[in-house]
Amino acid sequence: MKTIRLGLLALVLAAGCSGSGGGDDGGDGGCLRTCTDHPDCPRDSFCDQGCCRPGCASDNDCPGGTCDLGTHTCFSGDGGQDAGQDAGQDAGQDAGQDAGQDAGQDAGQDAATDNDCPQTHDKTLGQDCQCDGECVSEAPFCFADVLNDPGPTYCTIKDCTMSPDNCPVGMKCNDFYTNADPPQPPFCQKCLGGAHALGERCLCDEDCAPEAPDCFRDLTAAEDAPAICTITGCTAGAADNCPGTFECSASFDMANQQNPITYFCKPCAPGDHSLSIGAECGCTKDCPIGAECSKDLMSQDPKKCVQCLGGDPRGFGETCACQMDCGTDFPVCLPMLKYCSVLGCTENPNLCPQGSTCQDLLGFASYCKK
C-alpha cells in the first residue's frame, strides 16, 4: 500500500523520525534533525543553519568541562579535549546500546531530549514510545506510519518483508519510508482491525471489508486526507462502475514512474448532480448530468463543473470539453489540449494511432499527441 505524498517526506521525517547521524558521525556534519535554535536539538548536538549536528551547544553538554562554541567541542577542566564528549558523543549513552540503534539518536523521533527519553528498553511490541531506547530488543524500532496514523509512535519490528509478509497478526509490513530522506527500514505497522466499509478510514488492506478491499490514499487530495477503504482498478467515465455517491477517479503518484496513475472509487459530496455549471466540485457526480468536474492540470484553481459537448463519443484527436465526450479507446480529454487521447503510451507504444507520437505529460505520465 502506497499511501503518502513523497513531497512531504523530508519535512515529516525530519520532525518525526530517526536521524542518520549520532555520536558515531565522525565529524562529517550529518543532520540529526531540523531546528530553529539549540534547544530544539537533542543533548550533545547544536543547531547549525536549521540542522542539528553532533557537538556541544553549551557547558551543560560538557560535565566537568567547557564547550568551545567555535568548534562545538568539549574540553575538560584542565584545558584538554574530552574525547568522551567530542563530536556529540555521550559515552554513557553510547555504551551498551543495541546494534540496531544509531548512537546519539535517542531523541531523533520527536522533540524529546535524552532526559525525556531514557534508555529503559522496557516497551514491548505495539506499546507507545518516544525513541528506540525505550523498546525491547524483540521490537527495537520506535516508529509509525506518520503521514496516515495520527497516533503516537510505537515499538515495532523493522526490516520486515512484504512478500510474504512476516509481521505479527494485526500488523502489516510497510516499506514506503525506504524512499524517505533519510531512508527508514521497512517496519511492521499497526492496523486498525475490523472490517471497515467503503469510504471509511484505514491503515492496512486488512482493515477493509471484502466489498472495499483496498486501503488507499489519494495523493492528489488534501494533505490531511486519510487513507480509506475503497476499490482500485475501477472504470472511469461513462462506464463508471463505482457504487452510489462514489466515483472512479484518477490519483497521480509522480514518484512512481512505472505506474503513476491509480483509478479508485472516490467519495463525492453531495454526489447527487445538484451543483450548477461553474460551481466548485469534487466529483462529476456533484455536477449536472452532461457536465464534468475538471480543471487544467497546471492550474492551482479548484475543480469546477464544466459543460460537456455531448453527442456521439469522439475518437482520437477530436475536440472535447470533458472525458464524457471521448470514446472508450481514447477516453482522456486533456484540458490543456481539448482533444481525446489516451495515457500510458510510454509503457505501451501500440496505444498511439499511426501518425501520432507519444509525449511526456508533466514528467509523470505520457499521452498520444496528434
pLDDT in tens, 293-348: 988 766 778 889 999 999 999 999 999 998 889 988 898 888 778 899 998 898 88
pLDDT confidence of residue 32: 55
Q: Using pLDDT thresholds of 50, 70 and 90, give the confidence band for residue 83.
A: very low
Residues counted in the chain: 370
CA distance 232 to 18: 33
Bridge partners of 66, per DSSP, are 75
Percentage of residues in the chain with pLDDT exceeding 90? 42
pLDDT confidence of residue 84: 37
pLDDT in tens, 134-150: 999 999 999 999 888 88
pLDDT value at 92 more than 50 = no
pLDDT confidence of residue 105: 37
Q: Using pLDDT thresholds of 50, 70 and 90, give the confidence band for residue 8.
A: very low
pLDDT confidence of residue 233: 94
How far from 212 is each of 173, 202, 234, 249, 367, CA to CA, in Å? 20, 11, 11, 15, 30
pLDDT value at 218 more than 50 = yes
pTM for the predicted model, two decimal places: 0.57
* Top-confidence range, 25-39, 223-237, 269-283: 269-283
Q: Give the mean pLDDT of 92-108.
A: 35
Q: Where are the domains of the chain?
A: 19-104, 110-190, 194-267
Say which range, 79-88, 109-118, 193-202, has the weakest mean pLDDT.
79-88
Residue 344 has, within 13 A of its CA and on its CB side, a CA count of: 15
How many helices (H) and strands (E) the chain has is answered by 2, 18
pLDDT confidence of residue 24: 36
pLDDT confidence of residue 142: 95
pLDDT value at 20 more than 70 = no
Q: Give the mean pLDDT of 254-273.
A: 84
Which residue has better confidence, 63 or 269? 269
Q: Using pLDDT thresholds of 50, 70 and 90, give the confidence band for residue 257.
A: low
Q: Give the mean pLDDT of 93-106.
A: 35
CA distance 333 to 237: 11
pLDDT value at 30 more than 50 = no
How far from 367 is each of 143, 256, 293, 350, 359, CA to CA, in Å? 40, 16, 21, 12, 5
Q: Give the mean pLDDT of 215-241.
A: 86
Q: Using pLDDT thresholds of 50, 70 and 90, give the confidence band for residue 9.
A: very low
Percentage of residues in the chain with pLDDT exceeding 70? 75
pLDDT confidence of residue 146: 85
Q: Is 268 helix (H, G, I), strand (E, B) or coil?
A: coil
pLDDT value at 206 more than 80 = yes
pLDDT value at 88 more than 50 = no
Q: Using pLDDT thresholds of 50, 70 and 90, give the confidence band for residue 11.
A: very low
* Residue the block writes with cell 462506464: 239
Which residue has better confidence, 219 or 231? 231
Which residue has better confidence, 67 or 335? 67
pLDDT in tens, 145-178: 988 888 899 999 999 998 899 999 999 999 988 8
Other beta carbons less than 10 A from residue 317's beta carbon: 17
Q: Using pLDDT thresholds of 50, 70 and 90, give the confidence band for residue 15.
A: very low
Contact 230, 220 (CB under 8 A): no
